Amino acid sequence: MTTERSTLRRTVRLPLSLGRRLPAITADVSRGGFSAELPQVFLPGSRVDGYFLMGDTEVAFKGTVAWAVAGNPQASLYSRLGVQFDQTPAGLTKLFTTLETKAPKRKVTKRKAKARRAR
């Protein structure tokens, strides 16, 4: 399944809590939503709420699970899910502004690294 994103996603690891009971960590975040890794799995379409922990500040959010992939506890693999925000949390505005002004990191292939060393 391929979905077209309307906002830029950046890899950001933020601790979060779903329903103030379930700890998780984000894999990436955008103005439209986030993906996270956690021990449990949710069904797509489920309504979720919680908060991100940014320093000492809790930033509340509400959203809908857009997709979910079950993990495997026996192989120590966490489940992953994608959440679409109902409304972009105001507390994340500064983070998004900072991330959007940075150029995305590009992978350096062995060929490019060799060319850089040759200069």
**CATH number of the domain where residue 49 is located:** 2.40.10.220
Domain of residue 22: give its range: 1-93
Number of domains in the chain: 1
Task: Using the predicted structure, report yes or no on whether residue 1 has a pLDDT greater than 50.
Answer: no
The answer to the question of residue 10 being in a domain is: yes
83 bridge partner residues: 34, 65
End-to-end CA distance of the chain: 43
The answer to the question of residue 100 being in a domain is: no
Our CA angle for 21, 22, 25, nearest 5°, is 140
- pTM greater than 0.85: no
The answer to the question of residue 112 being in a domain is: no
Our CA angle for 25, 83, 14, nearest 5°, is 25
Higher pLDDT, 56 or 107: 56
DSSP string for 37-93: EESS---TT-EEEEEEEETTEEEEEEEEEEEEE--BGGGTB-EEEEEEESS--GGGH
The answer to the question of residue 119 being in a domain is: no
111 φ/ψ angles, rounded to the nearest 5 degrees: -60, -45
The answer to the question of residue 105 being in a domain is: no
- Average pLDDT in the 86-110 region? 72
The answer to the question of residue 43 being in a domain is: yes
User: In this structure, are residues 32 and 88 in contact, taking their beta carbons and an 8 Å threshold?
Assistant: yes
How many angstroms separate the most distant Cα atoms in the chain?
54
The answer to the question of residue 117 being in a domain is: no
Residues 12-27: tens digit of each pLDDT: 788 999 988 899 989 8
